[in-house]
Amino acid sequence: MMGLAAIAELFAGPGARDYLGEPVTIGIHMRQAGALAAAAGAGRPLVAAALLHDIGHLRRETDSRHGDAGAQWLSQWFGAEVTEPVRLHVAAKRYLCATEPGYLEQLSAESVRTLALQGGPMTAEQAAGFEALPFAADAVAVRRWDDEAKDPEVTPPDFAHFEALLKTLMRS
Ligand code: FE
């Protein structure tokens, strides 16, 4: 199956209708994140990363693996500017918990619960290592949209709205 069709199928499939402990479905959550990135004026790769950051969940990967597994699957078609923020968005949560006062306190209850499964807040040494990674800042940006994209009052654009943008970034 072509990449775009495979991704569209996941957004239309049963995995996208899971709630995973949040007030919106995972599909709505991901489309809200993509829309927030676009509204913030992010570049196309970062909008794509925000939209696709939980693709591992759509493929029913576990909490601790969904970033890595999602990035690995996306690397069939996308470059590092898309896949690295996806891969690192879980690490970015652990990083922000360690370095930003008040960050942990404003996370959703579910996000705090999964933090433990994901390794807890980074140590100072881990945080320094994270900051040195090429896409660390992009991963942190995705993480902030991720945290914000849980609003049951917001109806995000359909997946189709993002298809043209994704096409420009995909290797055929
Ligand atoms: Fe998310």
Q: From ligand 1's centre to the CA of 52, what distance in Å?
A: 9
Region of residue 102 (left: phi > 0; alpha: psi -120 to 50; beta: else): left
User: How confident is the model at residue 65, as a pLDDT?
Assistant: 87
Tens of pLDDT along 101-147?
999 999 999 999 999 999 999 999 999 999 999 999 999 999 999 99
Q: Tokens 């359909």 correspond to what residue?
A: 158
Q: Which residue has the higher pLDDT, 61 or 31?
A: 31
Distance from Cα 167 to the centre of ligand 1, integer Å: 22
8 Å CB contact between 124 and 98: yes
Query: Separation of 128 CA from ligand 1 center, angstroms?
Result: 23
CA of 172 to the centre of ligand 1 (A): 27
SS3 state of residue 106: helix
The predicted pLDDT at position 62 comes to: 81
CA distance to 13, 72, 128, 129, per residue, from 147 (Å): 23, 22, 22, 23
Instruction: Write the DSSP string, 42-78.
Output: --HHHHHHHHHTTHHHHTT--TTTHHHHHHHHHTTT-
Nearest CA-CA partner of 43 in 101, 106, 85: 85
C-alpha radius of gyration, the chain, whole number: 15
- Give the range among 30-34, 120-124, 143-147, 168-172 with minimum mean pLDDT: 168-172
What is the CA(71)–ligand 1 centre distance, in A?
13
**Residues lying with their CB under 5 A of ligand 1, a single-atom ion:** 54, 146
User: At which residue do the structure tokens 């990674």 appear?
Assistant: 133
Residue type, 3: G
Q: What is the pLDDT of residue 1?
A: 61
Summary mean pLDDT of the chain: 96
pTM for this one? 0.96
φ and ψ of 26, to 5 deg: -65, -35
Q: Is 41 left (phi over 0), alpha (psi -120 to 50) or beta?
A: left
